[in-house]
Amino acid sequence: MLHVHDLSVATDAPPRTPLLAGITFDLAPGERVGVVGASGAGKSQLVAAVLGLTGTGLQVTGSVQVEGTEVVGAGPARWRPLRGRATALVAQDPGTALDPLTRVGRQVALPLRARGVGRREASRRAVALLTEVGLPGAARRFPAQLSGGQRQRVALALALVGAPRLLVADEPTSALDPTVQAGVLDLLDRVTGPDRAALLLVTHDLAVAARLCSRLLVLQGGRLVVDGPVADVLADPRLAEVVAAARELSVVR
């Protein structure tokens, strides 16, 4: 599904500060992998590089293959058939990802319309997707008329529009209070896993990672320091420092 080899990201201009260095890992179809590490470890940069969303002023080197297509240095034409279908991003902050002036049903229908689906069929599918994420009656609502947890569900419905084979989620529940978090995690659990979408989940919260993922990648200072089964990573005494840093942050947040 995903093959990352010797991936590095550095600032363009001297002193060419490295943000990520020599990252290598694979992700199988339907596999769920958590990315953890202290603040500034490079988690968001990893997600951006995998999705071709690295900002200007930064240079990506190495290789990222999405279902066999090399995407490092890829332009819009190479990304077009992949975006939303091979990969999709669940926005961290649905408050900014959603258009406040457009009813959510229409927002979910728009990407379908852009792919040539007729108006009626697009609305029907938008309602079906909203129902799938537990919001059967939300199509005619505006984002401001929904709670934070409901908006995060809409963001997930938007990510699911193209039936992606890899869902990438960067802190999808960190803005939500714990009771609402549980519902969104249940939902992520339902739509990813064997025979469904693979999941690359960035989180500060080790409990969240342990709940959803079978494998953990631990980043420290832009390097991948551990890649292993969740239980092994959490139990490994050499990781106490990294894990404690991540745990501390999850408490702070």
How far is CA 116 from each of CA 89, 160, 238, 247, rounded to the nearest angstrom?
A: 22, 17, 53, 46
Closer residue to ligand ATP (CB): 49 or 135? 49
Query: Which phi and psi (to 5°) does residue 223 adopt?
Result: -115, 150
Q: Which of 42, 84, 143, 172 binds ligand ATP (CB under 6 A)?
A: 42
Q: How far is CA 65 from the centre of its chain?
A: 17
In the numeric block, which tokens belong to residue 167? 């869902």
- Under the binding rule (CB under 6 A), the answer on residue 174 touching ligand ATP is no
Q: 3-32 mask for ligand ATP (x: CB under 6 A)?
A: --------x-------x-------------
Closer residue to ligand ATP (CB): 98 or 245? 245
CB 92 within 8 A of CB 129: no
Give which of 40, 61, 41, 38 is closest to 49, Cα–Cα. 61
Closer residue to ligand ATP (CB): 41 or 224? 41
- Under the binding rule (CB under 6 A), the answer on residue 220 touching ligand ATP is no
CB 45 within 8 A of CB 217: no
- Give the integer Cα–Cα distance in Å for 31 and 124: 30
- Under the binding rule (CB under 6 A), the answer on residue 117 touching ligand ATP is no
CB of 67 to ligand ATP, least distance (A): 24
Closer residue to ligand ATP (CB): 77 or 252? 252
In the numeric block, which tokens belong to residue 8? 């590095």
- Under the binding rule (CB under 6 A), the answer on residue 44 touching ligand ATP is yes
Closer residue to ligand ATP (CB): 42 or 164? 42
CB 228 within 8 A of CB 216: yes
Q: Which of 32, 33, 36, 37 binds ligand ATP (CB under 6 A)?
A: 37
In the numeric block, which tokens belong to residue 95? 């408050």
- Please tell me whether the peptide bond between 14 and the residue prior to it is cis, using omega within 30 degrees of 0: no
- Under the binding rule (CB under 6 A), the answer on residue 40 touching ligand ATP is yes
- Under the binding rule (CB under 6 A), the answer on residue 71 touching ligand ATP is no
In the numeric block, which tokens belong to residue 226? 């551990």
Q: Which of 3, 5, 25, 58 binds ligand ATP (CB under 6 A)?
A: 58
Per CB under 6 A, the segment of 39-47, 79-87, 99-107, 113-121 that binds ligand ATP is 39-47
- Residue whose structure tokens are 């229409």: 106
Residues that bind ligand ATP (CB under 6 A): 11, 19, 37, 39-45, 55, 57-58
